[in-house]
Amino acid sequence: MTDVQTETPAAEVPAAPKAKPFAWPLGLVGVALVVIGSFLSWSYDGTILNNLSINFYPGGLQILAIVAAVLALVLLLAEQQGPLSNLGNWLDATLGLRVLGTGLTLYMALVLVAISVESDGLINVNPGGYVSFAGAALLAVGAWLLPLRPQLRNLSEARTPAWLDILAIAVLMAALLFVAAYALGLEDAWSFILCLLFVAVVATALFRTGAMSWVAQAGQRHRKVLTLASFAVAFLFPFTQNGSDANMSIATAVLVFGATAMGLNIVVGLAGLLDLGYIAFLGSGAYVAATLSTSAFATIGWKPPFLVVVLVGACVAAVLGLIIGSPTLRVSGDYLAIVTLGFGEIFRFAMFNLDGNNGPNLTNGPNGIPGIPDLEVFGFNFGVAHHPFGIELGRFSNYYFLLLVLIGGVILAFTRLNNSRIGRGWVAIREDEKAAEAMGVNVFGLKLLAFAVGAFLAGLAGTIKAHQDGAVSPDQYIFLESAFLLAAIVLGGMGTIAGVLLGATILKLLPEKLRFFSEYRLLLFGVLLVLMMRFRPEGLVASRRRQLEFHEEDEELAEAVEHKLLVEEAK
């Protein structure tokens, strides 16, 4: 690792505060106790938390605790003179240790609570659980007693060999694949919550140390490698599920939701138009596919090939976008939101009324169109299980691969539009519509184009969703679905690709895996949004522009740097 900054003279380096003499040994003892306790039994009852009752045979949650302890050991060694001491000059190891220590203590506390709740009392917690909890607490105390050292070098500015960058990207993608496969395989709700907590703690610790900044820079330097690695991980995911249709049905729902959210991201994230009825475009594509299918309940006699149906459904959705956009885009802000909300409800009631009694029989009214057959494209039947390399891939896995191709096309379209003159025009409208119009931007035309393109992409997703679900009905396209789509964009980060996909994954995955919170899921969703607006209003994966907009101190820093550069140029 090559240092890109000049060495700071010894006289100018601020002296680090002295640590408590027992802080580092305390942390080391804590790490040892966590590892030792994880090799011992945590629970007397083997049916709890996927069996943590066997000595010297760690279960999944025990392995996660060991991984966190090993990471804490690396950071502890970076704090002292030794083979990893140079790493401490690049990483903010103390901050990472504090996050790991505190998070691991909370993790072990929740383990004890889960065992107590599931088995009626702490008496069923075996000594290993208490040993690991004591070790996590000691690690946390030792970490908070360690002083914050001045960071001598900025890891995000380090110039590393290309092979090391690519290796880091590969390791990160492999870890994501492993964690995703393990988390989806957890049927126990407590185990899933603890796995999520582990991921959150480790990710926060890596961000605090600055390690993720370096990985992000490596990804920027090798964007093609990062993109290919991401799609490789997504492609390999079904091969880790052992033919589980339950998990793959969740994965396909995430991809449909993500593709639709990417279309809405053009309207909201780029053009800044608040659309609260966007689910209607997904529904229009689904209904076109249903009425043109070979279902016994289909109401149109024309049965074209699926590739034609995809284009017809997408074009119908785009025409609806133009129809709703032409008269309403002359209003903005709250008024536009109210109009689009009304359009979403009009679409749903229209599907109810096109039953042959209140209008032409196109949709079978509230009964919808059931019995939609599985797709068969070029002789490949999506409803039949296949066994490549001896691994079973069920029905939902087949649709997963098709949706993966769709997501790739949507991402490509979004990227090209975002980097084009059209995308810059949308961003200008979002920032200041009057200023954009004064500079010659065709505001109305670009707004209309945003609605049409976003609706087109949602229609594409809808045509596949109809065959995947096997039925369509008006109740699938309610206002709450539009609200969740908008929430996915806000939660992940408006105007970004990774952010929207992450937000869609969170909002589709968590409700499915946390069904025991069925009465409180909306409450938890509201609390999550409130916390996001308070601590990270720009979203989980935000663009730099958004970060500067929402953080005044960063904006002031940017202005100071710009002023300094202007002064230097003047000299």
- Cα distances from 361 to residues 38, 294, 558, in angstroms, run 64, 16, 60
- What DSSP designation does 269 have? I
Residues 355, 543: Cα–Cα separation, whole Å: 46
Enumerate domains of the chain plus CATH numbers: 23-237 (no CATH), 241-540 (1.10.3470)
**pLDDT computed for residue 190 by the predictor:** 86
Count helices and strands in the chain by DSSP H and E runs? 22, 2
Query: In 470-551, which residue ranges form alpha helices assigned H by DSSP?
Result: 479-492, 497-513, 521-535, 544-550
Calculate Rg over the CA atoms of the chain. 27
List of residues 6+ apart from 274 with CB closer than 8 A: 268, 333, 334, 336, 337, 340, 486
For residue range 190-230, list pLDDT tens digits in order. 888 899 899 999 999 988 888 887 887 888 888 888 888 88
**pLDDT computed for residue 1 by the predictor:** 42
524: closest CA among 498, 542, 506? 506
- Backbone phi and psi for residue 541, each to the nearest 5 degrees, phi listed first: -125, 95
**pLDDT computed for residue 531 by the predictor:** 81
Q: Which residues of the chain have pLDDT under 50?
A: 1-15, 557
**pLDDT computed for residue 17 by the predictor:** 55
Q: How many CA atoms lie within 13 A of 373 on its CB side?
A: 13
For residue range 421-432, list pLDDT tens digits in order. 998 899 888 888
What's the pTM?
A: 0.83
Residues 395, 386: Cα–Cα separation, whole Å: 8
